[in-house]
Structure 1
Amino acid sequence: MTPVFGHGHLRLYLLNLLAEQPRHGYELIQALSDRFGGTYSPSAGTIYPRLAKLEEDGLVTKSTDGRKTVYEITDAGRAERDSRLPELSSIEDRVTDSVRMLADGLRAGVNDAMRSLRAELAAAARDTRDGADQSSAAASQSTAASQSTAASQSTAASQSADAVRTLNASTLREVDAQLNSFRAAVRTELRKRAAEGALDQAAVATLTSELRRIQSELKQSVRS
């Protein structure tokens, strides 16, 4: 998977943000999200190790403000940032492109899972219709063969109804299994993206919108 920031680029961008003003970790995360219009929001596990490295290299210092740790750029950090200013605009362009690719990949994964679910639902619906037709035909044949007694007719009808109920229950179990499989696939993808620091507010908003659309389509499919 392509990283959002290239090698050394997040380091430079953090220095640039701290050159504007001292900030604590959450403020840096929020500032990065704001700079990219909410399309990228790094995790704490991405930011704090880099801040620790910047401090180790003498490029930033940290101080405690109540329960918050505030980071401030040093003269050496400002000198590195100033020497690499031409890189900043190209970094923003590359990050925007990388985030767009991540969002597209997540959307594609959800769409693939949805297509598979639709196919399974369609197959289950066909099985239900075919089974109901077969049960109805069997009931008709049984009734025709046993018209001599009312008891035989009642037994055949009862068996037919039981067969349809059994088939419907089986279909519901199959649909439920497919829904659980779809949910598990989406959950796995989300956890993977979150672990990579690629699950930001924009991606969550996109996923929520897609899931609502999918829910609406499924309801229409069941009703039709």
Structure 2
Amino acid sequence: MTPPVFAHGNLRLYLLALLEEQPRHGYELIQALSDRFGGTYSPSAGTIYPRLAKLEEEGLVTKTADGRKTVYEITAAGRAEVDSRRNDLDAIEDDLTDSVRRLADGVRAEVNDAMRSLRAELASAAREAKRAATSTSASAASNVPGYGTDTSRAVHEADLVLNEFRQQLRTDLRTHAHRGAVTADSVGLLKARLAQVRADVLASLVER
């Protein structure tokens, strides 16, 4: 089970510290907390608003309507509490640094697991495609009139080469896609090179 991001009572104090910086509405507080965690943690409205209501009951914040939004502002009593607990805030900041590191490690592990799973699936798909190509090419060669043994073997090997190339390139593309490295230029280069290879192979067949 993942440990809580904030120890008991710390989120309350941290909300006061955020409101000390400037008045904010609820979504802005949620966004500010998400920014502090680099996007690895974002509290729910059900976590934030009850605490804001409690702070209001205690006279530490006030709220005013701004159109359809409710803006929260720290009171003098709230500022006094923040001032009296600066050491606690420093400790919370240290805990947040550890929490961000822990959450980032968890995200990194999930991404690595997903990449390993993807590579395993692609390898399995490559084996299935190779097996299917072997069966299909052998059957096709045996059923086409005029195929000699050498020609049948060459067609079979060509099918295997094509399928192996397709699977290897597909794996490479998916591996690099998550970094945004695959672009329209990459596809254009692939089309041009494949067209040239096909033309070269056809030319060699015509010459025979």
For the 8 Å contact 2:62–2:75, the answer to whether it is kept is yes
- The 5 A counterparts of 1:9-158 are 9-33=10-34, 41-137=42-138, 142=142, 150=145
**Equivalenced residues, count:** 164
Answer whether contact 2:40 2:103 (CA < 8 A) is retained. no
Deviation of the 1:125 alpha carbon: 0.9
Indicate which of 179, 187, 193 corresponds to 1:213. Answer: 179
Deviation at 1:101, TM superposition (A): 1.8
Verify the 8 A CA contact 2:16 2:74 in the aligned structure 1. yes
In structure 1, what is the Cα distance between the partners aligned to 2:132 and 2:74? 72
**Aligned equivalents of 2:44 and 2:5: distance in 1?**
12
Instruction: Report the CA distance shift for 1:125/1:40 in structure 2 as closer, same or farther (over 3 A).
Output: closer
Question: Given the superposition, is the C-alpha separation of residues 32 and 138 from structure 1 closer, same or farther in structure 2, using an over 3 Å criterion?
Answer: closer
Q: Identify if the C-alpha distance between structure 1 residues 122 and 30 changes in structure 2 by more than 3 Å, giving closer, same or farther.
A: closer
Describe the superposition over 1:121-178 as per-residue Cα deviations: whole angstroms up to 9, x where unpaired.
11221222233234444566x56xx9xxx59x9xxx9xxx9xx9xxx9xxx9xx9xxx
Q: Which runs of 5+ in 2 are unaligned?
A: 171-175, 191-208
Name the % identity.
69
The CA RMSD over aligned residues, in Å, is: 3.9
Q: How far did residue 40 of structure 1 move?
A: 5.1
Q: Aligned partners of 1:132 and 1:98: how far apart in 2?
A: 51
- What is the TM-score with the length of structure 1 in the denominator? 0.56
Preserved CA contact (<8 Å) 1:24 1:68: yes
TM-superposed deviation, 1:11: 0.7
Deviation of 1:115 (Å): 0.9
Runs of 4+ with >6 A deviation: none
Give 3-state SS (helix, strand or coil) of 1:62's partner: strand
Distance verdict in 2 for CA 1:114–1:14, change over 3 Å: same
TM-score by length of 2: 0.60
Asked whether the equivalents of residues 30 and 43 of structure 2 are also in contact (C-alpha less than 8 Å), the reply is: yes
- Give the greater-gyration-radius structure (CA): 2
The one-letter code of the counterpart of 2:178 is R
Distance 1:38 1:105 in 2: 13
| Deviation digits for residues 73-111 of structure 1 (CA, Å, limit 9, x no counterpart) | 234323322221101122112112212321221221122
Listed as ranges, the gaps of 5+ residues in structure 1 are 176-209
Cα distance between partner residues in 2 of 1:128 and 1:70: 60
1:211 and 1:80 map into 2 onto residues whose CA distance is 50
Structure showing greater relative contact order (alpha-carbon pairs closer than 8 Å, 6 or more residues apart) = 1
